[in-house]
Structure 1
């Protein structure tokens, strides 16, 4: 299964997590590549790939800088993503209850609206916790990959 790890980041945390996920997948014999959302087009989403999306939250529940242009294109995109499978990992800070992890949720809603299927649990890292973001993501990864392979 070819996996594309897409990330949207403001400070670089999502990029580091995306790279750690891809490194783990590649070490385990999967094929994974990492792409910044600002360098990815919605038309490139295909059922042949599985997508792991890692996205932080910025400001008042907004998308991070590198995801803004993709989201604008994704909002205007009218393609059918039936058959596309993805998993979502959001970053945020639960101290901000109303906007916690909302950046990733903007993308998640659009994937669903276009017919894509999210597999596995919605992964999240809380900046208010003592947990390291990559540790949380790497713990989440096997269940998501198992769900994707079973789907």
Structure 2
């Protein structure tokens, strides 16, 4: 099954995480990686599995790289019924209530339009000693079997 990996980043860390996820998923799936700022909402296809990698910026906002995609989701307001997705968020617990809010915002926007979130919503903590790409690779292993196992509606 084709897997579309979209990343929204401020500093570039999400692109590295997206690469780590793609490396793991490539053994059983066909992953493609796109910067959210360059991906059109109309290209979302329920036949694909969507993986979102998103950081948090400022006081719990989306990073600059995710804003165009989020704005287009609001403008187009597509019916995403049948689309399945998983989320890997990046944040820092130093920011308390806004920790990993970027991934949560995108997940909420997709779910509001009928998409179904699959698997654990991963939340990397930049204050931890765990490198984001390492956590992402382990998380990708955990969702790999779910990509084909859940029937498309």
| 1:110 and 2:109 are equivalent in the alignment | yes
* Structure 1, gaps ≥5 residues long: none
- Which residue is 1:3 aligned to? 3
- Which residue is 1:45 aligned to? 44
- Measured in 2, the distance between the counterparts of 1:91 and 1:135 equals 13
- Which residue is 1:136 aligned to? 135
Summarize the alignment of residues 53-64 of structure 1 with structure 2, pairs less than 5 Å apart: 53-64=52-63
- Measured in 2, the distance between the counterparts of 1:30 and 1:140 equals 15
Secondary structure of the residue that 1:62 maps to in structure 2? coil
- Measured in 1, the distance between the counterparts of 2:139 and 2:105 equals 21
Question: Runs of 4 or more off by more than 4 Å in structure 1?
Answer: none
- Measured in 1, the distance between the counterparts of 2:144 and 2:74 equals 27
- CA-CA distance at 1:4 after TM superposition: 0.7
What TM-score, normalized by structure 2, do the two folds share? Answer: 0.94
Summarize the alignment of residues 51-130 of structure 1 with structure 2, pairs less than 5 Å apart: 51-130=50-129
- CA-CA distance at 1:98 after TM superposition: 1.0
- Measured in 2, the distance between the counterparts of 1:45 and 1:145 equals 20
- Measured in 1, the distance between the counterparts of 2:137 and 2:76 equals 31
The answer to whether the 8 Å contact 2:88/2:123 transfers is: yes
CA RMSD, aligned part only? 1.0
- Which residue is 1:24 aligned to? 24
- CA-CA distance at 1:43 after TM superposition: 1.1
Number of residue pairs aligned between Structure 1 and Structure 2: 150
- CA-CA distance at 1:106 after TM superposition: 1.1
